[in-house]
Structure 1
Amino acid sequence: MIGRLSGSLLTKNPPQVLIDVGGVGYEVDVPMSTFYNLPGIGEKTVLLIHHIVREDGQFLYGFASESERFAFRQLVKISGIGARMALAVLSGLSVDELAGAVARQESGRLVKVPGIGKKTAERLLLELKGKLAEALPNAAQAPAEDQHDILNALLALGYNEREAAGAVKTLPAGTGTADGIRQALKLLARL
Structure 2
Amino acid sequence: MIGRIRGILVEKHPPQVLIEAAGVGYEIQLPMTSFYQLADVGEEVIVYTHFVVREDAQLLFGFANQSERALFRELIKANGVGPKLALTILSGMSATQFVHCVQHQDVNALVKLPGVGKKTAERLLVELKDRLSHLLCDTSENPLAAQSHPIENTFVVADDPKDEAISALVALGYKPAQISKTVHNLYRQGMSSEDVIRDVLRSML
Q: TM-score, normalised by structure 1?
A: 0.70
Higher-Rg member (1/2)? 1
Classify the secondary structure of the residue corresponding to 1:130: coil
Cα distance 1:111–1:4, how it changes in 2: closer, same or farther (>3 A)?
same
Classify the secondary structure of the residue corresponding to 1:49: strand
For 1:48 and 1:134, the matched residues in 2 are separated by 17
Q: CA RMSD in A?
A: 1.2
Shift of 1:31: 0.2
Alpha-carbon deviations, 1:39-68, whole Å to 9, x = none? 000100000000111221211000011110
Shift of 1:80: 1.1
User: How many residues end up aligned between the 2 structures?
Assistant: 139
Q: Which residue of structure 2 aligns with residue 23 of structure 1?
A: 23
For 2:55 and 2:77, the matched residues in 1 are separated by 18
2:122 paired with 1:111 = no
Classify the secondary structure of the residue corresponding to 1:71: helix
Q: Which residue of structure 2 aligns with residue 170 of structure 1?
A: none
Classify the secondary structure of the residue corresponding to 1:7: strand
Does the CA contact (< 8 Å) of 2:9 and 2:43 recur in 1?
yes
Instruction: Give ranges in structure 2 of 5+ residues lacking alignment.
Output: 140-205
For 1:138 and 1:116, the matched residues in 2 are separated by 26
Alpha-carbon deviations, 1:4-27, whole Å to 9, x = none? 000000111111000001111000
Q: Which residue of structure 1 aligns with residue 142 of structure 2?
A: none
For 1:91 and 1:40, the matched residues in 2 are separated by 20
State the AA in 2 paired with 1:106: D
Alpha-carbon deviations, 1:122-172, whole Å to 9, x = none? 111111112112443248xxxxxxxxxxxxxxxxxxxxxxxxxxxxxxxxx
| Larger proportion of helix | 1
Classify the secondary structure of the residue corresponding to 2:126: helix
For 1:71 and 1:119, the matched residues in 2 are separated by 20
Q: Which residue of structure 2 aligns with residue 71 of structure 1?
A: 71
For 2:128 and 2:138, the matched residues in 1 are separated by 16
Q: Which residue of structure 2 aligns with residue 131 of structure 1?
A: 131
State the AA in 1 paired with 2:8: S
Write out the 4+ residue segments of structure 1 that deviate beyond 6 Å after TM superposition.
Answer: none
Shift of 1:113: 1.2
Q: Which residue of structure 2 aligns with residue 82 of structure 1?
A: 82
Instruction: Give ranges in structure 1 of 5+ residues lacking alignment.
Output: 140-191
Classify the secondary structure of the residue corresponding to 1:79: coil
Does the CA contact (< 8 Å) of 2:102 and 2:128 recur in 1?
yes
Q: Which residue of structure 2 aligns with residue 144 of structure 1?
A: none
2:56 paired with 1:56 = yes
For 2:96 and 2:132, the matched residues in 1 are separated by 9
For 2:75 and 2:100, the matched residues in 1 are separated by 15
Does the CA contact (< 8 Å) of 1:103 and 1:130 recur in 2?
no
For 2:86 and 2:22, the matched residues in 1 are separated by 29
Does the CA contact (< 8 Å) of 1:103 and 1:133 recur in 2?
no
Q: Which gives a bigger RCO, structure 1 or 2 (Cα 8 Å, sep 6+)?
A: 2
State the AA in 1 paired with 2:66: E
Identity of aligned residues (%): 51
